[in-house]
Amino acid sequence: MTLSVEPAPPVEAVIEQPRRVTNRSRFTRSLRRYWQLYLLLLLPIVWFIVFRYVPMANAVIAFKNYNPIDGVWGSPWVGFDNFERLFRNPVFPRLVANTFILAAYTLIASLPLPIVLALALNEVRLRFFTRTVQLVTYAPYFISTVVIVSMTILLLSPRVGLLGRTFSFFGAGQVDLLADADFFRHIYVATDLWTTTGYSAVIYLAALASVDVSLYEAAKIDGASRLQKIRHVDLPALMPTATIILILGVGNIMAIGFEKAFLFQNALNLSTSEIIPTYVYKTGILNANFSLGATIGLFNAVISLVLLLVVNTVSKRVTGSGLW
């Protein structure tokens, strides 16, 4: 008797080919599963669209001779005439230089101090002392900018201020630091460090809290000192967070705060305190030159975007981490 052996089916018939999952189907599945979370995101997205993206359309007045009577879209088109006026303005190079120097000075000075404070607090084992230092350094962040500037002006006043009286006591006479253009940037950065160091240190403390405990145990077994543990365990753990903060800071380097610079500003320190935001306010609001003010603001935004893209690209190639 002859036995007939049937041929085995092909492998493709036995193993079912997996279905290709597209981004659309993945999003639909996620939407059905987590629709409550997407519903919570709906309101912030609408807020960003209405108050952030829709106003971008009004930036077209930078290319027009804006007239409030004719409106944004009814005003005559002038092309790049406003940009030519801006670039030919003899004040423009000084504005860009003052803005960049002040923002870079603030960024460089404010980057290492929160890291040092977070590392120091992470090494202290007394909870009461740690919480007290956190409270003292974190509280100034909630003080209004107007109050901080008022306190600084009173402190530096040559007649009634503590520092002014100290100078007089040692025979230096009445020294008005706010009237000296060379001291404006130092005063601005010093007040900024006082208000933001404690707040920024909280971010780094949160990053240190996520470090694996086994790394500290391995460092202890290897006989590493505290400085060696900070160097080889804590600092590498803080690098991704510090990189992201640096990228965001560089992206906002041309969008430095208006309030503090304007409140510290006076006729004597105008050579260093006049920055792009204060000039936009004076040109666009006080002088009612809305087209030129929008031109300066658009130029500022484009420079900030280019810096953000460049720094993010360099960071991804050097450190492997970035915003996207």
Report domain extents, the chain.
Answer: 80-319
Give the right CATH number for 80-319 from 3.40.50.150, 1.10.3720.10, 1.20.58.390, 1.10.10.10.
1.10.3720.10
* Cα–Cα distance for residue pair 310/247, rounded to 1 Å: 9
Helix count (H) and strand count (E) of the chain?
17, 0
Q: At residue 213, does pLDDT exceed 70?
A: yes
Which two tokens mark 16? 């079912």
Segment holding 106, helix H or strand E: helix 92-110
Q: Note whether 65 and 78 are within 8 A (CB).
A: yes
What span, in angstroms and rounded, lies between the C-alpha atoms of 152 and 64?
42
Q: What is the mean pLDDT of the chain?
A: 83
- 181, pLDDT greater than 50: yes
Q: Residue 1 has what pLDDT?
A: 47
214-267 pLDDT, tens per residue?
888 888 888 888 888 888 888 888 888 888 888 888 877 777 778 898 999 988
| Structure confidence at residue 8 (pLDDT) | 53
122 touches 205 (CB < 8 A): yes
Give the H/E segment covering residue 165. Answer: helix 162-169
Dihedral sign for Cα 142, 145, 147, 150, please: positive
What pTM was computed for the model? 0.79
Contacts of 207 (CB under 8 A, 6+ apart): 118, 237, 238, 240, 241
pLDDT digits (tens, 9 = 90+) for 301-321: 888 888 888 888 877 787 776
Please answer whether residues 247 and 323 qualify as being in contact, where contact means their C-beta atoms are separated by less than 8 angstroms. yes
Could you read off the pLDDT of 65-87 as tens digits, one per residue?
888 888 888 888 988 888 888 88
Return the SS3 of 67: strand
- Using one digit for the tens of pLDDT, what is the confidence trace for 16-65? 555 565 677 788 888 888 888 888 889 999 999 998 888 888 888 889 88
Confidence of residue 4 (pLDDT cuts 50, 70, 90): low
Q: In this structure, are residues 95 and 279 in contact, taking their beta carbons and an 8 Å threshold?
A: yes
